[in-house]
Amino acid sequence: MTTPAPAASRKVFVKSYGCQMNVYDAERMKDALAGEGYSEASVIEDADLVILNTCHIRERATEKVFSELGKVREVHDARAARGEKTMIAVAGCVAQAEGGEILRRQAAVDLVVGPQSYHRLPDLLRRAESGARVVETEFPPEDKFDHLAAPSPTAIRGRGVAAFVTIQEGCDKFCSFCVVPFTRGAEASRPLARVVEDVKRLADAGVAEVTLLGQNVNAYHGLDEGGATRGLRSLIERLAGIDALKRIRYTTSHPNDFSGDLIAAHRDIDKLMPFVHLPVQSGSDRVLKAMNRKHDVAKFMGIVDELRAARAGIALSSDFIVGFPGETEADFEATLELMRQTGMASAFSFKYSPRPGTKAAELAEQVPEAVKAERLARLQAQEIQQRQAFNAATVGRVVDVLFEKKGRHAGQIGGKSPWLQAVHADGPEDLIGRVASVKITSTKPNSLAGELV
Ligand code: SAH
Ligand code: SF4
Ligand code: F3S
């Protein structure tokens, strides 16, 4: 017989997979649970509640979750042998996609909760504690963020100088390869004033950089105080007015939602960083059509050109999928060519992974695994070359660095350049949280070294 820990001394361990939105959600779940007396466990063995915050985007995501659950189960059983109860919850996009199947396949799981129901977590846990096995995968009409407890200043400080804030969630675009519209639901934007409030709270507690998150962040259309709809540029303008906030970023944007006024924001608003992540997926119009992306290569190139014209020195990154059904060698070469032509500073590339329930998974001409692997290796080799060239071009230049943390050795501090490169320099710890000028002296594969000027 196991006994639950007293409410005030309970600990929660959240393990997150997938995108930054999951990272942000994990923090908000912890904030909601702090109100229930839960503090954070530093190791899983100490946790009275384990939450796996899962991702469904690629690969055998579901199988990975079940194998991870097997490991959590061992911890659960070892604690049970000591008379300690461990609750196990599965959250995130696999929870949304698999629902009750998770309870059927892993008997130790108490709760399955989809991404839109985290504000109900305290309530759901109470139901689970009283012995029910709970599945909550509805898309409730209310906005979870309106109901989730705000983080305390202490919680914010513990999370560092740069923070994420979700401003838009869900997707109505239904690219033929993608599960996100199914796992995150319809696109919805948070009201402007709420986002501004959240960011002010973060800035007051020492956050200097905020990254606005959304599956299609530039489709943002939040209501303002007067009930009018405002786009991402208006929101960025409002946030730029917060003195203590030094840097603003946004991700992930979609080519079809890039308005002229957002492009011009990169010219007009200094705090908006000159680095844009703009996924294109493929350099072949034929493949883009089959992907249901609803844009072609020319449209993408047009946006790249406009961004470069709006702000000198702007850098870009992108996402690519190789081996989409029907992709030929010529299609793939067009992707490589787009990568080169746009001079991407970095990119993420993935082998196409058929996702259950999506249109592309049904297509006949699936590309053999070996071909996908070979194309991925070629694209990634090209990416490394471009990233290194981009990094090398900063050597000898003076760049602004927002220092975020202590470095690896004593006297060293680390931070980020405007283009999200990791930068290390020798300097005083009181620079952490501030932007300082650094002359870049050398580059390593994944970071830059420099000297304070
Ligand atoms: N909303 C963003 C992307 C979200 S998913 C956009 O539209 O660009 C992040 C990345 O995962 C995608 O850009 C895509 O490159 C990759 N991805 C999504 N589904 C995939 C799949 N089925 N197989 C391989 N990669 C995939
Ligand atoms: Fe997925 Fe496409 Fe929506 Fe991005 S725009 S989340 S790739 S469906
Ligand atoms: Fe993964 Fe869901 Fe994010 S599928 S990438 S955690 S939106």
8 A C-beta contact, residue 243 and residue 280: no
Compute CA 244 distance to the chain's CA centroid, rounded to the nearest angstrom.
Answer: 24
Q: In whole angstroms, how large is the CA radius of gyration of the chain?
A: 23
Residue 250 pLDDT: 98
175 lines ligand 2 (CB under 6 A): yes
pLDDT band, very low/low/confident/very high, at 177 (cuts 50, 70, 90): very high
Tell me the pLDDT band of 445, cut-offs 50, 70 and 90. confident
Q: Are 109 and 133 in contact (CB under 8 A)?
A: yes
Report the alpha-carbon distance of residue 108 to residue 67 in Å, rounded. 13
Q: What pLDDT shows up at residue 5?
A: 73
**Ligand positioned closest to the Cα atom of 174:** 2
Whole-number pLDDT of residue 148: 84
CA distance 251 to 353: 22
Q: How many CA atoms lie within 13 A of 154 on its CB side?
A: 5
The ligand with the least distance to the CA atom of 173 is 2
Average pLDDT of the segment spanning 289-303: 98
* Distance (Å, whole) CA 250 – CA 217: 7
Which residue's CA lies nearest to atom 1 of ligand 2?
A: 178
Query: How far, in Å, from the CA of 414 to the mean position of ligand 1?
Result: 30
Q: Is the CB of 173 under 6 A from ligand 2?
A: yes
CA dihedral 398, 403, 406, 407 (to 10 degrees): -30
* pLDDT (tens digit per residue) in 4-33: 777 668 999 999 999 999 999 999 999 999
Give the tens place of pLDDT for each residue, 356-378. 999 999 999 999 999 999 999 99
CA 221 to the chain's CA centroid: 20
How many other C-beta atoms are found inside a 10 Å radius of the C-beta of residue 4?
A: 13
* Other residues' Cβ atoms within 10 Å of the Cβ of residue 446: 10
Q: Which residues line ligand 3 (CB under 6 A)?
A: 18-19, 21-22, 55-57, 92-93, 179-180, 183-184
Instruction: Determine which residue's CA is closest to atom 5 belonging to ligand 2.
Output: 173
Query: Which-ligand-closest: CA of 358?
Result: 1
Instruction: For 135-168, write each residue's pLDDT tens digit.
Output: 999 988 788 888 888 888 988 988 999 999 999 9
Which atom of ligand 3 approaches the CA of 22 most closely? 6
Average pLDDT, whole number, for the chain? 95
Q: Residues 332-363: pLDDT tens digits? A: 999 999 999 999 999 999 999 999 999 999 99
Which ligand 2 atom is at minimum distance from the Cα of 181?
A: 8
Give the pLDDT band (50/70/90) at residue 1. low
Which residues contact residue 186 at a Cβ distance below 8 angstroms, ignoring those fewer than 6 apart? 139, 170, 171, 172
* Interval between CA 223 and ligand 2 midpoint (Å): 23
0.85 surpassed by pTM: yes
Query: Nearest ligand, CA of residue 16?
Result: 3
Q: What is the DSSP string of 134-167?
A: EEE----SS-HHHHSPPPPHHHHHHT-SEEEEE-
Mutation pick for ligand 3 pocket among 64, 183, 213, 358 (CB with most ligand atoms within 8 Å): 183
